[in-house]
Amino acid sequence: MEWPNTPWRPRKGARRTVRIWLGAAVLFEPDPDQAGAERLSADGKARLDSAMATFLERLPSAILMVEGYSQKGTKEEQYLQSRLRASIVRSYLIGRFQLDPPMTGIMPLGRDSAGSPDGAPWDGTALAVFQEKTAPAKK
């Protein structure tokens, strides 16, 4: 099956990815209103704001994917926690930076943290920006 060239199914090699990894210990704190739940901490919001500074000029023509990771519990619990983490971060970023919701997605990845810093299992989130590759300037 041939996929059309849409933001979510680009031509092979048509986009490049820039990723910033953010650990759960920095981003989240226990939510006192909901047992077992997490929320963004003040430090986490500051870290996200700082990370977004590197992306802001690219975002009008790029897709931002918030990837969630979790190393605790069963496979199902990892999936749910990684999805929740990505959703919390996405909601914050859309509100804070007035991002276009259809161009800002989530990807719950559970334990699967290929490409993480030092190749170690990752617990937290990653911000991945998919942007158009530009052709080299002709001489």
Q: Determine the Cα–Cα distance for residues 111 and 70; give it in Å rounded to an integer.
A: 6
Q: Say if residue 81's pLDDT is above 90.
A: yes
In a domain, 138, yes or no: no
Share of the chain above pLDDT 90, in %: 63
* Residues 6+ away with beta carbon under 8 Å from 21: 116, 117, 122, 124, 125, 126
- Provide the CB-side half-sphere exposure for 134 (13 A, CA): 6
Here the CATH number for the domain that contains residue 33 is 3.30.1330.60
In a domain, 8, yes or no: no
Contact 123, 82 (CB under 8 A): no
Per-residue pLDDT at 79: 95
Q: Within 10 A of 27 (CB to CB), how many other CB atoms are there? A: 22
Region 5-19: mean pLDDT is: 59
Query: How are the residues of the chain apportioned to helix, strand and coil, as percentages rounded to the nearest 5?
Result: 35, 30, 35
Q: Determine the Cα–Cα distance for residues 79 and 16; give it in Å rounded to an integer.
A: 26
Secondary element (H or E) of residue 80? helix 75-97
pTM of the predicted structure, to 2 decimals: 0.82
pLDDT per residue over 52-73, tens digit each? 998 888 777 789 999 999 999 9
* Number of domain units in the chain: 1
In a domain, 2, yes or no: no
Using pLDDT thresholds of 50, 70 and 90, give the confidence band for residue 116.
confident
In a domain, 137, yes or no: no
pLDDT per residue over 24-57, tens digit each? 999 999 999 999 899 999 999 999 999 999 888 8
